[in-house]
Structure 1
Amino acid sequence: MALQISATNPEHPALLLELPWQLPLEQWPEKYLVPLPRGISRHVVRYARAGDEVVAVKELAERPALREYQLLRDLDRLAIPAVDALGVVTGRTDTSGEALEPVLITRHLGGSMPYRSMFETTLRPATMHRLMDALAVLLVRLHLAGFAWGDCSLSNTLFRRDAGAYAAYLVDAETGELHPRLSSGQRDYDLDLARVNISGELLDLEASGALHPSVDPIDFGTEICARYGRLWEELTRTSVYPAGKYHYIERRIRRLNDLGFDVAEMQIEHASNGDTVTFVPKVVDAGHHQRQLLRLTGLDAEENQARRLLNDLESWMATQDDYAPGDPLGARPEVLAHRWVREVFRPTVRAVPLELRGAMDPAEIYHELLEHRWYLSERAQHDIGLDTAVADYIATILPKARETLQPTAD
C-alpha cells in the first residue's frame, strides 16, 4: 500500500512529506523534532516541525486514527476548545517494506502545557482550583455539544494561560462519541470517569512530592463534579426574560460570577414572548478584568470595578444589531467598546454634576451608578434604566455621602 496523506489544508501534504515516515516515531532523528513537554499517552507521540508549523504526531491503528481525525474536525466545526486536526498518514512502511502504524497529526497548541509540566513547580491551591474550573468548563461545553469524552482526565487535556484567562483544551478524542444530545446517564458516566481519573493522577503527583501539601487528591476529584453540576445548571436552565428587563440578565451574570466564572460571550435572541439569553463561561485570573477593560476601552479601573463595567459592556454589546461573535461582517469588540464609551459611559458619568463627584474617578462613579440601578431594579422588579438610577443617585446617595465626608466642628 502506498503512502497516503489525508490533510485538511492542501498545502500540508507537501510539507508533511519532508518528515521521515519510513521510521517508527521512536526512531525519528533529533533534527526533525521540537523539544516541547509531552504529557502521558498510551501511544508514542512526538513534536516535529513541518514548514512553519509545529505539529504533534501520534502513532495508532488506522481505524482509530481516522475516527479521531474526524471527531477533532467535528469539534472544530462546533467551536469546542480542542487541538486542530491537520491530517492522517496511512500506508507507512519501513525501509525493508514492513508495515508501520498510521499517524494522526495535530497542530501544536501554542502556549499550552500538559498538567505534569505545570506541576514541576508546586502549584498553589488557588491556581489548582482555577485549572479544575477550566476543565469543568471544557466538560460542560463538550456535553452541551453532544460530545461524550469517554476518558476525561488531566492527561488528555492541555491548559493555556492567555492574558490572565485559563482555558482547557481537549487533546485526545480517541474514546469520544458525538451525539445529537447526551442523556443524563452519559453525562454522569463521563463525570464519574473524570472524578476517578483526576483523583488518581493527583495521587501520583502526591507520591512523587509534586503536590502542594494542603491539596487532597480525593477532594479535588470530587470538586470538579460539584463545579460541573452548578455550572451545568446555571447554563442549561432556560430563562425567557421580558423585553427590557436587563436586571434579570445581570442577576444571572452575578450568579456565574459567584460560581467563579466570567462571561466570555453572551447572545440574546429576541422573540415575541421575551428574550432568551445564552452564556459561554470562562475562567479568569486576578487582574484579568483590569487588563481587558484597559485594552478594550482605555479605562483604568480597580479589578471589581472593571469586572462590573465589562459585564455592562457585554450586556450592551449583545443588544447591538451589528454584534455577531465570530462573524467577520459583524462589528469587532474593540469598535463596539469605544462606541459604548462614547454613547453610554461618558454621557452617564457627565450626568453627575462635577461638584458632587468629589474625589471619585469616572470608573468608580459608573460602577456605583450600576450598583444603584441594580438595587433599585431589584426592589422595583423591573429594569429602571440608567437615567432614573442617575437621578435617584444624585438625589439620595450623593448628599449622604457628602455629609459623611464633611468635617465635624469641635
Structure 2
Amino acid sequence: MQFSSGPDPTDLLTLPWTTPLEDWPKDILVSLPRGISRHIVRFARIGGIVYAIKEIFPALAEREYALLRDLAKKGIPCVTAVGVVSNRVAADGTPLDAALVTKHLRFSLPYRALYSRRIDPDLEPKLLDALAELLVRLHLVGFSWNDCSLSNTLFRRDAGALSAYLVDAETGDMRDVLSKGQRMNDLDIAETNLAGELLDLQMAGLLPDHVDPMETALSVMERYESLWNELTVEQTLPENEWWRIEQRLRRLNELGYDVGQLNINEVDGNPHVLVQTQVVEAGHHRRRLSELTGLKVQENQARRILNDLDNYRSRAVMPETDADENTVAQHWLTDIFEPVIEAVPQQLNEKLEPAEIFHEVLEHRWFLSEAAGVEVSIADAVKSYVANILPTRRDEKAMLDPDLMGIGQIGDFSVDDDGEIAESDDAQWRLDNL
C-alpha cells in the first residue's frame, strides 16, 4: 500500500481489504451524505479521522491519486489523496479492484444535501459562482476536468457564500496550458451535467418554481467568462494612466487572487503599454490572515475576519502608539475571536466550523444593532446567537475533532431553559471582557 500523508499506515491496514467494499461491515462505516458516483464509495472512521474509499480500476486509481496530489500542490481546493490500495484479492482468490483513499472534507456537503436542508434562498447563484470559480482556477493551472458537475464537487460554507472543492478527478487531464477550445469543451460538459442535475432536483421537488434548470445551467458560462476575463484579459492603456493598473490589482486582490508578474511591452511603437497580468494563486486574504493569526479559514471568511480585525485595530490602537500589525492581531485573537468560539456550548460546536460561526456572530450583531438603533456589544450578540440562531443549524461536521479550534481546551457550556448561557468561570470571565 502507498500512503502520502495522514496517520500511521497500520491504522488503515486494519480495514478488511480482502472484502469487496459493498460488503464491508457497518460497524466500521460512517453514514455521511454523498453525491452520485459511478463507483462504490464508503466512508470509514479510523483513528478519529474519516476516510472516503472508492473502488476503481488500479490504473485509474493510480492516475487519480497522482492528479489529486498535483492539484493540491498547485493550491487547488480538492480532497486530500491519502493512498492507493492495489493488488487486492478476496479470500477465495478473486481479484478485487484497487481502492483510492482520500480524507473526508470536514464541514463539506454535496449539493443534494444543501438542497434537502435548504436554508439559503439564494442557493443557486452561490452554487454556480463557487463552481465557476473552481473551474477557472483549474483552467489557470492547465487542468481540464472533462466531467465538471455538482455531483463531483463538495461545498463548504464561506462567510455566507460557498466554496467548491473538486472530489472526482479520474476523467481529468493536466497540461501546461489549456487552449480556448479545451476550456470551452469543459464548459459545454459542465452545462450539460448541470442541466441534468437541476432537472433531477426539479423532479424531486427540491428546486424553487422560479428557477429554470436550463437557464440556470447556461448562466455558468457568463459567471466563468466574467471571472476569466478579469483574471487574464490583456489591458492596453496610455503610459500616464498607471493608476488603472493599481486599480485592477486591487480588484484582483478583492477577488482573492495574487499577481505573480506584469508583462509590459510597447504596442507598435505607440506611447501605450500592454499589461498582461499573470495570476498565480488564489487566497490573498486567507494567507494574510494566516500570517497574522495562524487561523486557517476560507477566503471569504478571511476577508470578513480581516475587516473585523481592521475595525478592532482602529478602535484599540491609539494614534501615538507604535504597535505593529502582528501584535495587534494577537491581541484581537485573544480578546475577540477566541472568547466568541469558546462561548459555543459543546453540544453545538458540530454545527458549523469556527470561522463560519464567527462570521455569523458578526452578521447577527449587525442585525441586532440595526433593530435596536444602538451598537450591540459582541458579548450580547454571542449570547443571542448561541441561544436563538445556532441551535437551528444542522450539524455540518462528520465528527468532533478535539483540536479543531487550535486555541486550547474548550470549557463546559450549556443553554438553560430561559435561553441563557451557563459557562465555566474562566469562559464567563472572557465573555464578560469581550
Q: Same fold (TM over 0.5)?
A: yes
After superposition, where does 1:117-132 map in structure 2 within 5 Å?
117-122=113-118, 124=120, 126-132=122-128
The structure-2 alpha-carbon separation of the partners of 1:285 and 1:209, relative to structure 1 and needing over 3 Å to count, comes to farther
Shift of 1:23: 1.3
Which residue in the other structure is 2:225 paired with? 229
Shift of 1:122: 3.9
- Conserved in 2, the CA contact under 8 Å of 1:45 and 1:58? yes
- Residues 1:264 and 2:250 are matched in the alignment: no
Shift of 1:46: 0.6
Hey, what's the Cα distance between the residues in 2 that align with 1:272 and 1:182? Answer: 23
Hey, what's the Cα distance between the residues in 2 that align with 1:155 and 1:86? Answer: 21
- Residues 1:293 and 2:285 are matched in the alignment: no
Shift of 1:247: 5.1
- Residues 1:55 and 2:51 are matched in the alignment: yes
The structure-2 alpha-carbon separation of the partners of 1:27 and 1:236, relative to structure 1 and needing over 3 Å to count, comes to same
The structure-2 alpha-carbon separation of the partners of 1:139 and 1:27, relative to structure 1 and needing over 3 Å to count, comes to same
Hey, what's the Cα distance between the residues in 2 that align with 1:294 and 1:28? Answer: 48
Q: Deviations over 1:267-286 (max 9, x none)?
A: 36478879875555689999
Higher Cα Rg: structure 1 or 2?
1
The structure-2 alpha-carbon separation of the partners of 1:191 and 1:10, relative to structure 1 and needing over 3 Å to count, comes to closer
- Amino acid paired to 1:185: G
- Residues 1:335 and 2:326 are matched in the alignment: yes
Hey, what's the Cα distance between the residues in 2 that align with 1:182 and 1:188? Answer: 10
Q: Deviations over 1:31-90 (max 9, x none)?
A: 211221111100000111122321100001111111101111110111111111100001
- Conserved in 2, the CA contact under 8 Å of 1:290 and 1:300? no
- Conserved in 1, the CA contact under 8 Å of 2:80 and 2:102? yes
The structure-2 alpha-carbon separation of the partners of 1:148 and 1:199, relative to structure 1 and needing over 3 Å to count, comes to same
Hey, what's the Cα distance between the residues in 2 that align with 1:192 and 1:205? Answer: 20
TM-score (norm 1): 0.65
Hey, what's the Cα distance between the residues in 2 that align with 1:185 and 1:270? Answer: 25
Q: Deviations over 1:343-381 (max 9, x none)?
A: xxxxxxxxxxxxxxxxxx9xxxxxxxxxxxxxxxxxxxx
- Conserved in 2, the CA contact under 8 Å of 1:296 and 1:338? no
Shift of 1:291: 3.9
The structure-2 alpha-carbon separation of the partners of 1:223 and 1:272, relative to structure 1 and needing over 3 Å to count, comes to closer
Hey, what's the Cα distance between the residues in 2 that align with 1:35 and 1:269? Answer: 47
- Conserved in 1, the CA contact under 8 Å of 2:195 and 2:217? yes
- Residues 1:171 and 2:167 are matched in the alignment: yes
- Amino acid paired to 1:186: Q
Which residue in the other structure is 1:248 paired with? 245
Identity of matched residues, %: 43
Question: Which residue of 56, 59, 66 corresponds with 2:62?
Answer: 66
Which residue in the other structure is 1:180 paired with? 176
Shift of 1:243: 10
Which residue in the other structure is 2:4 paired with? 8
Which residue in the other structure is 1:365 paired with? none
Hey, what's the Cα distance between the residues in 2 that align with 1:81 and 1:10? Answer: 18
Where does structure 1 lack aligned partners over 5 or more consecutive residues?
302-332, 340-360, 362-410
The structure-2 alpha-carbon separation of the partners of 1:214 and 1:271, relative to structure 1 and needing over 3 Å to count, comes to closer
- Amino acid paired to 2:258: M
SS in 1 for 2:220: helix
Hey, what's the Cα distance between the residues in 2 that align with 1:71 and 1:286? Answer: 26
Which residue in the other structure is 1:160 paired with? 156
- Residues 1:138 and 2:134 are matched in the alignment: yes
- Residues 1:86 and 2:104 are matched in the alignment: no
Equivalenced residue count is: 301
The structure-2 alpha-carbon separation of the partners of 1:249 and 1:92, relative to structure 1 and needing over 3 Å to count, comes to same
Shift of 1:164: 3.5
Q: Deviations over 1:173-225 (max 9, x none)?
A: 01000011111111111000000100110000000101111111001110001
SS in 2 for 1:174: coil
TM-score (norm 2): 0.62
Where does structure 2 lack aligned partners over 5 or more consecutive residues?
266-272, 286-297, 316-323, 331-374, 376-434
- Residues 1:213 and 2:209 are matched in the alignment: yes
- Conserved in 1, the CA contact under 8 Å of 2:262 and 2:278? no
Shift of 1:131: 1.3
Which residue in the other structure is 1:17 paired with? 13
- Conserved in 2, the CA contact under 8 Å of 1:55 and 1:106? yes
The farther-off stretch of 26-35 and 37-46 is 26-35
The farther-off stretch of 131-140 and 17-26 is 17-26
SS in 1 for 2:116: coil
After superposition, where does 1:364-375 map in structure 2 within 5 Å?
none
After superposition, where does 1:315-334 map in structure 2 within 5 Å?
none
- Conserved in 2, the CA contact under 8 Å of 1:297 and 1:338? no
Which residue in the other structure is 1:348 paired with? none
After superposition, where does 1:19-38 map in structure 2 within 5 Å?
19-38=15-34
SS in 1 for 2:256: strand
Hey, what's the Cα distance between the residues in 1 that align with 2:10 and 2:156? Answer: 30
Hey, what's the Cα distance between the residues in 1 that align with 2:212 and 2:82? Answer: 39
